[in-house]
Structure 1
Amino acid sequence: MTLYYTLVFGLLMAEMGMFMLLLVPLPFNIKRRIFTFISESPLIAKLQYWMKITFVFILILFVDSLNRVYRVQLEVMAAHEQGLKGNAAAVMGSERLEVQARKFYSQRNMYLCGFTLFLSLILNRTYVMILEVMRLEDKLKAYEGTSKNTKESEKLAVAGKPGEIAALKEKLEKKDQDLQNLKKQAEQLNKAYNELSDKYAATQVDGESRKSR
């Protein structure tokens, strides 16, 4: 294997390792710190820029390996036709082995470059999806009022700010509780008023009975 294909193989192994790290279940806070560092670090940004250039060269190698596989396949088919015509010497010995070896190496290089490019697309898409999921989780926590960064003043701010729904729910619960308390007080007052009315009516009946005597 030549030097550049060895580098492509090393890059493929690195991509596989990074993909496994993305799939490892980690606590949300730790994962958020890691992805925040990756998305905001200038060093990572420069590395991503050079990686894009590297993948362009790998794409060129992939196209070249496809061309080599096609040409070797034509040679194999031509040698097979010569063998069918009776020229067995053309398809035997070192020439046939050399053609088969070139076919094997060309296919190996094609698969190596192809898998590296394909895994890079999957890795990039997985990274973007994880970032999007983390942003949605942050928004959900903010709107539910459970975010640690959300202050009480932000909960009582203008409509549309994070935590306002939770503040409105708290206000609504307090209003409901006050309403229930008022209902209980009204019932107690009504009960006391009825008792006083009954006592007053009883005193009036007693007074009229005494007058009639």
Structure 2
Amino acid sequence: MTLYYTLVFMLLMAEMSLFVVLIVPLPFNLKRKIFTFLSENPIVAKIQYGMKITFIFILILFIDSVNRVYRVQIELGLSSENGANGAAIIGRDRLEVQARKFYSQRNMYLCGFTLFLSLILNRTYTMILEVLRLEEKMKKYEGTEKDTKQSEKLTQAGDFAEIGKLKKELAKKDRDIETLKKQASGLQREYDDLCEKYGATQAPAGPKKTQ
């Protein structure tokens, strides 16, 4: 295996390990910290940009390996057609073509699985971020709902207290009105008594006698 295909194989192993890490169940707070770090760290963003360029080269290798498999398949077809006329092709040359076909298919599968797993990792990473955002929004919504219910309870308690206060003030006003009525009745009786006494002192004088 050449150096660049060895690097592709190492990248495939790294992708498989990363995929296992992504699907491992972790606590919500720990997972949120990890994915927040991965999504906001500038160094990770540069690494992702470099990996995109790397996958472009892997795509080129994949296309080249597919082309090689196609050409080797054509050579095998030609060797099968010429097998009756040339026994030398059936021997060592055919084994060489079979070996080149095996290596070309191996490289094609290696690059293809690496590219396919990169797409799965990207989609899985995006979906996990969306799930974390939704869970965080849900927690905030639940907290807001609890605060709203608590504030409603406090408002109702405040309304009850206000109603009790108003009832006390109304009862006090009623007592004041009754007191004023009693005072007015007392003043009316005193006024009537004074009027009677004044009328008694102001009796009219009788007619004078004539001589």
1:105 maps to which of 91, 103, 106? 103
Does the 8 A contact of 2:72 with 2:97 survive in 1? yes
Q: Is the 8 A contact 1:82 1:88 kept in 2?
A: yes
Q: Report what 1:63 is aligned to.
A: 63
How far off its partner does 1:120 sit?
Answer: 0.2
Amino acid aligned to 2:40:
E
Q: CA deviation at 1:174?
A: 4.8
The corresponding residue for 1:43 is 43
Deviation for aligned residue 1:24: 0.8
Alignment correspondent of 1:94: 92
> Residue 146 of structure 2 corresponds to which residue in structure 1?
166
1:117 counterpart (115, 118, 123):
115
Cα RMSD for the two superposed structures: 2.2
2:72 maps to 72
Structure 2 counterpart of 1:24: 24
User: Comparing 25-34 with 105-114, which one deviates more in the overlay?
Assistant: 25-34
Matches of 1:72 and 1:171, distance apart in 2: 76
Gaps in structure 2 of 5+ consecutive residues: 164-211
Q: CA deviation at 1:92?
A: 1.7
Q: TM-score with structure 2 length normalisation?
A: 0.72
Does 2:9 align with 1:9? Answer: yes
Q: Deviations over 1:88-140 (max 9, x none)?
A: 51432210010000000000000000000000000010000000000000000
Higher relative contact order at CA 8 Å, sep ≥6: structure 1 or structure 2?
Answer: 2
Which 10-residue stretch deviates more, 109-118 or 173-182?
173-182
Alpha-carbon separation, structure 2, partners of 1:105 and 1:28: 45
Structure 1: gaps spanning 5 or more residues: 146-162, 183-213
Larger radius of gyration: 2
The alignment's TM-score, normalised by the length of structure 1, stands at: 0.71
Give the conservation status (yes or no) of the 8 Å contact 2:79–2:90.
Answer: no
1:171: Cα distance to partner?
A: 3.2
Dislocated runs of 4+, deviation >6 Å:
176-182
